[in-house]
């Protein structure tokens, strides 16, 4: 399990790389833009609904101020990961170029259409799994912390898969083995990334940091398989 902490250490050491910085800026800007547009849409929708009920439209602003931060807290991981899919190749390529130049020469960059398809599939998977987890979270709501644990575990599984697939898809050769990163490694990667994304400010770089760490896990495992 030491592979996961080592991967995060290497990923953190590359955060100053201009290519990584560029992805952080683009992904954060686009993620915040999505929530800004959603907030504006929510305000317009609420204003119309409230005015039709005969109340002052200013209540819509108050409702939006309350609901948008709640939505950001609940959906940030889902939206941030969907956005990152569009820039995943750039993160993986930056890690390859610095740490695995031989692998970089063998990589197969993904076309935009496939990035879009991966993003939509990941978004659907995240929404679906989280919706399925709702009844379980409801059953353990009496514990106070139970729902948080349920959603953390579900998102750790999802994130671990998405963050390693980003690198694996550039190197997969159609073999039956699939993603070479072990399930336990993927889970720990997802858990650590989900934890980072809960931290204010630092959470904004969580997806990129996790993608870089996931790249290390996949490529190190591929190198070991080659050496064997």
Question: Is-contact 148 128, C-beta < 8 A?
Answer: no
Q: Which pLDDT does position 31 carry in this prediction?
A: 87
Kindly state the helix (H) or strand (E) to which residue 191 belongs, with its residue range. helix 183-197
Compute the distance between CA of residue 208 and CA of residue 221 in angstroms, rounded to an integer. Answer: 20
> What is the pLDDT, as a whole number, of residue 192?
93
pLDDT at 226: 73
Cα 216 to Cα 180: distance, rounded to the nearest angstrom: 11
Nearest to 181 by CA among 215, 144, 136: 215
Q: Work out the number of other CB atoms within 10 angstroms of the CB of residue 72.
A: 16
Give 23 or 54, the one with higher predicted confidence. 23
Domain residue extents for the chain: 3-222
Percent of the chain's residues with pLDDT above 70: 85
- Does residue 174 contact residue 164 with C-beta atoms inside 8 Å? no
- Averaged pLDDT, 143-155: 85
Residue 228 confidence (pLDDT) above 60:
no
Residue 176 confidence (pLDDT) above 60: no
Compute the distance between CA of residue 195 and CA of residue 189 in angstroms, rounded to an integer. 10
Residue-wise pLDDT tens digits, 83-123: 888 888 899 999 999 999 988 878 887 777 877 787 788 77
What is the tally of helices (H) and strands (E) in the chain? 9, 0
Q: What per-residue confidence (pLDDT) applies to 50? A: 67
180-224 tens-digit pLDDT: 888 999 999 999 998 898 887 788 899 999 999 999 999 998 888
Dist CA 166 CA 81 (whole Å): 11
């Amino acid at each position: 399990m030491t592979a996961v902490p080592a991967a995060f250490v290497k990923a953190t050491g590359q955060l100053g790389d201009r290519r990584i910085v560029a992805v952080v800026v683009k992904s954060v800007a686009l993620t915040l833009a999505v929530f800004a547009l959603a907030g504006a849409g929510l305000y317009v929708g609420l204003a119309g609904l409230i005015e039709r009920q005969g109340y002052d439209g200013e209540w819509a602003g108050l409702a939006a101020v309350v609901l948008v931060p709640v939505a950001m807290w609940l959906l940030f991981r889902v939206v941030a990961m969907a956005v990152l899919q569009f820039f995943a190749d750039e993160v993986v390529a930056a890690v390859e170029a610095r740490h695995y130049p031989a692998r970089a020469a063998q990589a197969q960059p993904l076309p935009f259409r496939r990035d879009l398809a991966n993003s939509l599939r990941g978004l659907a998977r995240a929404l679906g799994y989280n919706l399925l987890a709702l009844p379980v979270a409801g059953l353990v709501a009496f514990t106070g912390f139970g729902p948080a644990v349920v959603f953390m575990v579900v998102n750790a599984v999802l994130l671990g898969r998405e963050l390693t697939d980003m690198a694996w898809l550039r190197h997969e050769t159609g073999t039956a083995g699939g993603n070479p990163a072990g399930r336990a490694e993927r889970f720990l990667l997802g858990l650590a990334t989900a934890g980072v994304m809960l931290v204010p400010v630092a959470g904004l770089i969580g997806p990129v940091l996790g993608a870089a760490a996931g790249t290390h896990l996949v490529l190190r495992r591929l190198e070991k398989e080659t050496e064997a």
